[in-house]
Structure 1
Amino acid sequence: MSGALNITAATVDPALLDLPWELPLENWPNEAIASLPKGISRHLVRFANLSGYVIAVKETTAEMAKGEYDMLRTLQRLDIPCVDPLAVITNRSDRKGRELPSVLVTRHLKFSLPYRALFQGTLRPDTATRLVDALAVLLVRLHIVGFFWGDVSLSNTLFRRDAGAFAAYLVDAETGKLYEGGLSNGQRENDLEIARVNIAGELLDLEAGGRADAELDPVTVSNGIVAAYRSLWKELTGSESFDASERWRITERVHRLNELGFDIEELAIKTTDEGSTVRIQPKVVDAGHHQRRLLRLTGLDAGENQARRLLNDLDAYSASFGKDGFDEEMAAHEWLIRVFEPVVKAIPRELRGKLEPAEIFHQLLEHRWFLAQNEGRDIPLAEAVGSYVNTVLRHRRDEATMIVPPTEAISIPAAMTGPVDWRDLV
């Protein structure tokens, strides 16, 4: 290797030094290359094997490599789905001392593929629509944190199969910029128009190459990202006002967000001076880590679905009772002793063996929400407990918990968890 490489990385894998950095990327030998499908890129990108995993190496300028590396690390800290940046390598030269381009090294996202590799033969309309919907979700998440992409396209995205749908990950942040004050409507609309035009072009290219189903309309599909984006943006960021007597509408909003695949991190709830109107503003977070967070905060060991529902209620409790300024652990402790434990103790002793406490709690919350939906009013917890015990729990056969897991027996897919007022138990 000629010269001395400059490597910028949080942690450096020593095996990185064994790759042929003295060669232009296009001349790397086959033994150093991993055979994986690549998307379309304005820069040369190659995959390489490294210490049991695969890396993507992109040749670019030193300034752009460093900027994209920093941006990807920032997006990771913001929990944005994106590739993992590993290193920036500069000061490359060949054996004759001639300068070579700098490179950005990222970890290949396992089980992910560029959009052109996600279908065999021709792209069907429903597959194209699912890809565009996944990209719309990613774009909304980026805009929520104030990230302007500037080059939104299927080609700059990696996709993972996700239970009949797709999950989208940002793979190219080269043109992106993060605005601390958030994006203006004009910036968001600009990104959205870029996405619409680029997607139409990519699908038209597939059509011209005979790789699109005859029924696929590139323009219609590309326009779909506009509708999907705007619908999701409104649901995730829009505030909602209603009468204070209609507190059940808080859980109705949570229900809609859950059905879109998002979980509530916190609820900002404001009331008027007269206390007659409630205004809610949700803050959403991706699914995941619920079991560990619940265990860390409360010591309760629950299933993932149970944990999600209990945490939603914990956050709603904190927002409703002005605990936002509390230390998270203190708020969780108060919720545990004033909400969760009183609910469990309110269950008749002879029925407590029917289900584990976490399952009883989340079923009670759902039962309370159903009552509120049917009657159009907020249901006091004491009333909900009595109804749940007498109409659901008391008639549940003990063997049902052995035949069907309790969570699977619940028909609705989302967490319906409004704040439990512990004072109802007194």
Structure 2
Amino acid sequence: MAARREQCAGSVDRFPEGVVRYLFRPPAAEAAGLLALPWHQPLKDWDPALLLEVPQRGISRHVVRFTVSEGRVYALKEIAEPLARHEYSLLAEFEAEGLPSVSVLGICIDRPDEQDAILVTRYLEYSMSYRYVFSGPRAAHAPDRLLDTLAQLLVRLHLAGVYWGDCSLSNTLFRRDAGAFTAYLVDAETAERYSTLSAGMRAYDVDLARERVGAELMDLQAGELLSPDIDPIEVADGLAGRYEALWDEVTREEVFRVDEQAYRVAERLQRINDLGFDVGEVELVTSPEGARLRVETRVSEPGQQRHELFRLTGLEVQENQARRLLNDLWSYRAFLEQRAGRPVPEAVAGRRWLAEVYQPVLDIVPAELAGRLEPAEVFHEVLEHRWFLSEQAGFDVGTWAAARSYVQHELPRTPAVMTTPSVIADRGTVTAPASD
């Protein structure tokens, strides 16, 4: 952690207590463009010209604002200094360990008039609040999908010894991931870290989440954003069952016959990997009565599929997206081998698929629609649309026909989410006004 003492914009006469302190994580140079902002002022009083409206933001009990600097979007949260320092430290740990959370940049402390500190985090591109998800065209499927991904987020945190204490839809951001969602922790001010969590602590954390989710869904219901067929309490009560089923799958001790051990061990490890978790130490104890398997499960980040796709193409995407893109890549490799009559190295297939399939599909998306979805999500949607059109036609319509149809008929119906490239094109870089 790097520390730097700076003087706020303006004269010392105007701001007698105008010295504040910034703490930034390496690389601290990223924060240079933020130093000229009016940190001596309460966030609620900042000039709107310095700020950015984020339409899909969630509800927060703190003052939260967004700004742009050097091509990046940042979230600024005003919060009591002890909580800010605690959250700053925890979010840094989470990022270093690959836990799904927002990325922290720094905090501003020692502000004039005993003001609260300001925590600075990087905006999570293509992310959505739960309210934004429920306002979209696929809102009818949102409750089950969001509850599934929220349960997975809790399991990931609990495996890492993190007691959240404030799990809710409001404190979570969601990103589309090949038809599903990936959840990210946003608010860690109440979180605590332990070597392991007891069953009681886990259950209490889940029960708190159930209460908060139920209240949030009832709020959506009151605002007529929830389908009349959805019972908020019934949905929220289902969170515990989803959590326990997933926790059992990735942590339970398994017993089987000795002669089954070879394939049963491999089968269990594959199931854990498929759920998005990694395997640490594996303990197998055999006796005349049978074999007992105990597996240490860890959070898998960035993930086997993501690693593989990045190795072959250089694309950085989410896990489900990577799985879908890899399947298409391997299909294209088989096509190349059939046409050439000889094996095609996987590295060659990766480069050719990127240049001849993936990028051309993205290139047909017009500029006005380019920010609606992540590029990898657009490609996934095109593959889904291809399957749908082929089912209707009774034959494979092909990727290009599907891409043209999708861009013409489906993508325009998808609400846009805020992304850094679109922000830069629209607003440029926000800078503080010159001092008097």
Alignment TM class, shorter chain as reference? 0.5 to 0.7
Match of 2:421 in 1: none
Asked if 1:129 corresponds to 2:147, the answer is no
Query: Is contact 1:24-1:100 (8 Å) kept?
Result: yes
TM superposition shift of 1:284: 4.1
Query: Is contact 2:66-2:73 (8 Å) kept?
Result: yes
- Relative to 1, partners in 2 of residues 1:52 and 1:303: Cα closer, same or farther, differing over 3 Å? closer
Letter in 1 for 2:249: E
Report the secondary structure of 2:128's partner residue.
coil
Query: Is contact 1:291-1:302 (8 Å) kept?
Result: no
Report the secondary structure of 2:175's partner residue.
strand
Rounded to whole Å, the distance in 1 between the matches of 2:175 and 2:308 is: 27
Letter in 2 for 1:30: P
Letter in 2 for 1:81: P
Match of 1:210 in 2: 224
Match of 1:90 in 2: 109
Query: Is contact 1:25-1:59 (8 Å) kept?
Result: yes
Residue 83 of structure 2 is aligned with which of 64, 67, 86?
Answer: 64
Query: Is contact 1:78-1:145 (8 Å) kept?
Result: no
Residue 198 of structure 2 is aligned with which of 170, 174, 184?
Answer: 184
How many pairs are equivalent? 306
Letter in 2 for 1:25: L
Query: Is contact 1:250-1:280 (8 Å) kept?
Result: no
Query: Is contact 2:279-2:295 (8 Å) kept?
Result: no
Asked if 1:201 corresponds to 2:220, the answer is no
Matches within 5 A, 1:27-426: 27-37=45-55, 38-93=57-112, 98-120=113-135, 124-180=139-195, 182-246=196-260, 247-260=262-275, 262-266=276-280, 268-272=282-286, 277-286=291-300, 288=302, 290=304, 354=343
Query: Is contact 1:270-1:280 (8 Å) kept?
Result: yes
Percent identical among aligned pairs is: 39
TM superposition shift of 1:355: 6.5
Return the TM-score normalized by structure 2: 0.64
1:149-183 CA distances to partner (integer Å, 9 max, x unpaired)?
11110000011111111110000001010012x11
Letter in 1 for 2:174: F
Report the secondary structure of 1:56's partner residue.
strand
- Relative to 1, partners in 2 of residues 1:52 and 1:245: Cα closer, same or farther, differing over 3 Å? same
TM superposition shift of 1:279: 1.8
Report the secondary structure of 1:251's partner residue.
helix
Q: Which one has a bigger Cα radius of gyration?
A: 1
Report the secondary structure of 1:272's partner residue.
strand
Return the TM-score normalized by structure 1: 0.65
- Relative to 1, partners in 2 of residues 1:177 and 1:282: Cα closer, same or farther, differing over 3 Å? closer
- Give me the CA root mean square deviation: 3.1
Rounded to whole Å, the distance in 1 between the matches of 2:128 and 2:312 is: 35
Shift >6 Å, 4+ stretches: 291-295, 300-304
Query: Is contact 1:73-1:84 (8 Å) kept?
Result: yes
Query: Is contact 2:160-2:298 (8 Å) kept?
Result: no
Match of 1:317 in 2: none
TM superposition shift of 1:285: 3.9
Letter in 1 for 2:115: L
Report the secondary structure of 2:105's partner residue.
strand
- Relative to 1, partners in 2 of residues 1:218 and 1:17: Cα closer, same or farther, differing over 3 Å? same
TM superposition shift of 1:280: 3.7
Rounded to whole Å, the distance in 1 between the matches of 2:88 and 2:120 is: 8
* Greater RCO, 1 or 2 (C-alpha within 8 Å, sep 6+): 2
Report the secondary structure of 1:5's partner residue.
strand
TM superposition shift of 1:272: 2.9
1:244-282 CA distances to partner (integer Å, 9 max, x unpaired)?
21121112213433443x254345032236695242415
Query: Is contact 2:159-2:299 (8 Å) kept?
Result: no
Rounded to whole Å, the distance in 1 between the matches of 2:264 and 2:287 is: 20
TM superposition shift of 1:22: 2.1
Deviates more, 1:183-192 or 1:119-128: 119-128
Structure 2, unpaired ranges of 5+? 1-7, 9-14, 320-340, 348-397, 400-436
- Relative to 1, partners in 2 of residues 1:353 and 1:240: Cα closer, same or farther, differing over 3 Å? farther
1:396-423 CA distances to partner (integer Å, 9 max, x unpaired)?
xxxxxxx99xxxxxxxxxxxxxxxxxxx
Rounded to whole Å, the distance in 1 between the matches of 2:120 and 2:244 is: 34
Match of 2:43 in 1: 25
Report the secondary structure of 1:166's partner residue.
strand
TM superposition shift of 1:303: 10
Letter in 2 for 1:77: A
Query: Is contact 2:24-2:105 (8 Å) kept?
Result: yes
Report the secondary structure of 2:152's partner residue.
helix
- Relative to 1, partners in 2 of residues 1:125 and 1:274: Cα closer, same or farther, differing over 3 Å? same
TM superposition shift of 1:209: 1.6
Query: Is contact 2:59-2:170 (8 Å) kept?
Result: yes
